[in-house]
Chains A and B, each alone.
Chain A
Amino acid sequence: MAKTVALTGNAACAQAMRQINPDVVAAYPITPQTTIVEEFATFVANGKVNTEFINVESEHSAMSACVGASAAGARVMTTTSSQGLALMWEILYIASSLRLPIVMHNVNRTLSGPINIHCDHSDSMGARDAGWIQLFCENAQEAYDTTIQAIRIAENKNVHLPVMILYDGFIISHAITRLELLEDEDVKKFVGDYKPEKYLLDIENPVAVGSFDGLHGFYFEHKKVQNEVIERSKDVIVKVGNEYGKLSGRSYGLFEEYKLDDAEVGIVVLGSTAGTAKLVVDQMRDNNKKVGLLKLRSFRPFPAKELFDSLKKLKALAVLDRSSSTGSFGGPLFGEIRSAFYDGKNSPKIIGYIYGLGGRDVSLNDIEKVCNDLSDIVKTGKIKKEIDYLGVRE
C-alpha cells in the first residue's frame, strides 16, 4: 500500500535513497541539495540503512569515491548541485566510460558567475556530453519515482551506465507537496539485488579497471560503443517506466505528451515549468486554442526520432531552454530539437526561448506570450524572432 505524505522534493528523494538502501553513498553538501545529504546522514546515524556513508571533502572526491566503490562492486549513489556537479565534471566522463551504474541526483541550480543559488539547468547542461543518462523531473513525485527507476535503468545489463536525476532547485527541492511513497518492501523488490559481473573485490577474478589506452588506440571504438549503449537505454527507460507504472499507477516514458493529439502549436519544456505550462495549455484550451505540451524527461539519451514523430503534426513549436549556451545559436534543447526536424517534410516552424536563468520566475503570462507568438506564426507564416528571452529585464 502506498502512503500519501507531504514532503519536500529533497526529503522525498532521501526517502527513496533509504528505501533503495545503497551499499555506498559518497556525497558533499551544496545548496540546494544539502537537505538530501542531511536526511540521508540521519538514516545512517539511526541504522535505517546498511550504507557506508563517505563524508568526502569535495564533490570531486565524491565522484572519485563513487567510481572506486562502484568499480569495487557496490551499489552506489550520490547527490549534488551546480558548482558541485561542475567540480565533478572530469570524473563524470570516467564514470560513464567505465560503465559504472552510479545513480546521482543533481538538484538543478545555476552555475556561477555571478554567484547565484537559484534554479536553472546550466549545471546539468554543462554535463550533457558526459555519457550519463539524464532524466528531468517535473515535481517531487517524479523525482522520487525516477530515483527508484534509475537504479534499475543504470544496472540493466544492456545499459550499465550512470544515471543523473534532475529536478529544479528550491522550486521542487524545497517546496512541500503531496506525494505517494511506495512501501519499503515494494521498493526493495523492485530494485532487487545488485549483482555486478566484474568487480575489484572479486579476488578470485582480479580485474584491471581504467587501463591506459596508450599504444593500440581503442578510444574511438570505446566512444562508439558508449553511443550505441546509451541509444539502446531508451527501450530500458520505457520498459522500467511501464513496470513501475504497474507497481505505482504512475507510468513513465521518454517524455510526456499533454494535449498534443489535435494541437496546432506546442511547447517543449524540461522540469518544473511543465507544471506552469500545463495550466496555460488548459486555459488556452478553454478559449478553443489548440495548444499542446511536450515535457521531455529523457534529455540523454535524446529521443530525436520519437520527438519528431510526436511533434511533426504541429504548425509551430516553441522550445523553452532554462539555460544559456553562451555563444551558440539558441539553447541546447532548441538546437537539438531543431536538428531532429531538419529532414522532416512540412516540419513545424520552431522558435526558442531562454527563460528562468538564475531562478527568474516564470509566470503564466510568460507562457501565454509564447502561445500567442506561436499563434501569430501560424497566422502570418512568419517568424519575427527565432531566439528570444522570456522574463528578462531590458
Chain B
Amino acid sequence: MANLRELSKRKDKLSGGHRLCAGCAASIIVRQILMAANNPTVVACATGCLEVSTTIYPYTAWRDSYIHNAFENAAATISGVESAYKSLKKQGKINNEIKFVAFGGDGGTYDIGFQSLSGAFERGHNIVYVCYDNGAYMNTGIQRSSATPIGAATTTTPIGSQSYGKKEYRKDLTVCMAAHNVPYVAQASPSKWRHPSNQSVEMARLAVQTNYWPLYEVEYGKWKLNHKPKERKPIVEWLKPQGRFSHLFKPGNEAVLEEFQKNVDLEWERLLKRCEA
C-alpha cells in the first residue's frame, strides 16, 4: 500500500472545474479514495451534490468512466457494471484489470438506497461503496436523514415550541454493513453542518476527538480501532460551532445535551468491546 506522499503524486481522477461549493470536503474525499486505485476505475454516483456538481452536461469532471442512474440505486448499478465486467472478462472480451467504486450521500445510502446497498453487499460484488455522510439531505437543502444526530435542527425536523429538533438517534450504518460479513468495512473521517466553510477539516477532526465519529475498520470480521483520542473531548465542543445545534445551548435543552453525551459514550463503549473481543 502506497503512503500518502506517494499517493499525492498520482494524477487526480477528479478534475478541477466542478461545481461543488467552497468548503465542501466531497472532492477531497473522492480524490483521496480514487488515488488508492491503481487500476482504471468505473465510478457510479447516487443522485446528490457530488453527482449534480461533477457531471453538468455536456461536461464531466471524472477522468474515468462514470455512471449515474438514480438516487437509491448506486449499489445495484455498480453491481451490474461489475457483473458485466466479470462476464466479458471470463469470455475473453476484456483483458484489463478494472476497479469499481460507488459514491452515495447519507440519504442515498442510509435511507432510500439501503436495500440496494444491502443486496449488493450480500451478493458479494467486488466493489467499494463510499457513503459520503453529511448527516442530512444536503443537496435538497438540509432535510433529516437517518444519519442526522439527535437534537439537530433540519428543515424537516425544525425547532419549535414543541420541538428541539430531531428526536431520534442516528442509525449505525457501519455496524449494519459489518453485519453483512463483507471483507472490509471502515469509518473514515468525513465532514457541512452550518459551520464556517473554512472549517470542514477541523469539524471532522472534532467529530473524531469527541468520539462522535470514531475511526475504525472491520476486516474479515476483525474489529480494529484505528485511533483512540488521548482525552475524549466533550461532545459540546463539536456541537457548539454548528448552527444546527445552537438551540440546544439555550436554557431548557440541557437534558438533550446530556442525552447526546450519554449516547456518544454508550456507543463508544460498545465499539471498544467489539474491538477488544
Measured CB to CB, the residues of A under 8 A from B are 23-24, 26, 50-52, 54-58, 60-61, 64-74, 76, 90-91, 94, 200-203, 206-216, 218
Contact = CB atoms under 8 A, between A and B. Distances in A.
Nearest to B83: A52
Contacts of B67: 67-68, 71, 200, 208-210
Nearest to A67: B69
Contact of B57 (A66, A67, A74, A212): A212
B51 interface: yes
A74 B76 contact: no
A51 B96 contact: no
Contacts of A212: 51-52, 55-57, 68
Contact of A57 (B44, B56, B69, B122): B122
A24 B80 contact: yes
B27 to A, nearest CB: 16
Given A68-B44, A206-B64, A54 B116 contact: no
A57 B116 CA distance: 7
B65 A206 contact: yes
B73 A211 contact: no
Interface stretch (B86-94, B161-169, B172-180, B269-277): B86-94
A68 B69 contact: yes
Nearest to B44: A68
Contacts of B64: 203, 206
A200 B60 contact: no
Contacts of B84: 23-24, 52, 68-70, 72-74, 76, 200-201
A69 B44 CA distance: 12
The winner among A55, A202, A208, A216 for most chain B CB atoms within 10 A is A208
B51 A208 contact: no
Nearest to A206: B65
A71 B86 CA distance: 14
Contact of B87 (A23, A55, A57, A67): A23
B115 A211 contact: no
B83 A65 contact: yes
25 contacts: A24-B84, A50-B87, A51-B87, A64-B77, A64-B116, A65-B76, A68-B44, A68-B78, A69-B87, A71-B81, A72-B81, A200-B65, A200-B81, A201-B65, A201-B98, A203-B40, A208-B55, A209-B67, A209-B68, A210-B67, A210-B68, A211-B59, A214-B56, A214-B57, A218-B57
B118 interface: yes
Given A23-B88, A209-B65, A218-B58, 20 more contacts: A24-B83, A67-B67, A68-B67, A69-B84, A70-B84, A71-B81, A72-B42, A72-B81, A74-B84, A74-B87, A90-B70, A94-B69, A206-B40, A206-B63, A206-B65, A207-B65, A208-B55, A208-B66, A210-B55, A215-B56
A23 B89 CA distance: 10
Contact of B52 (A51, A73, A214, A216): A214
A69 B80 contact: yes
B213 interface: no
A127 to B, nearest CB: 16
B56 A61 contact: no
Contact of B73 (A55, A69, A91): A91
B42 A60 contact: no
B79 interface: yes
Given A68-B69, A210-B68, A60 B57 contact: no
B122 A67 contact: no
Given A61-B119, A200-B42, A201-B98, A26 B66 contact: no
A64 B56 contact: no
Nearest to A202: B65
B55 A64 contact: no
Given A64-B76, A206-B63, A54 B83 contact: yes
B77 A68 contact: yes
B83 A201 contact: no
Nearest to B79: A65
A54 B91 contact: no
The winner among B52, B65, B118 for most chain A CB atoms within 10 A is B65
B123 interface: yes
B79 A91 contact: no
Contacts of A54: 79-80, 83, 123
The winner among B42, B66, B76, B84 for most chain A CB atoms within 10 A is B84
Given A57-B115, A201-B65, A216 B81 contact: no
Contacts of B88: 23, 72-74, 201
Contacts of A57: 115-116, 118-119, 122
B70 A68 contact: no
Contacts of A71: 67, 81
Contacts of A215: 56
B238 interface: no
B40 to A, nearest CB: 4
Given A74-B87, A201-B84, A207-B65, A68 B55 contact: no
B81 A208 contact: no
A61 B55 contact: no
A43 B51 CA distance: 38
Contacts of B96: 203
A69 B72 CA distance: 17
Contact of A210 (B69, B79, B86): B69
B81 A68 contact: yes
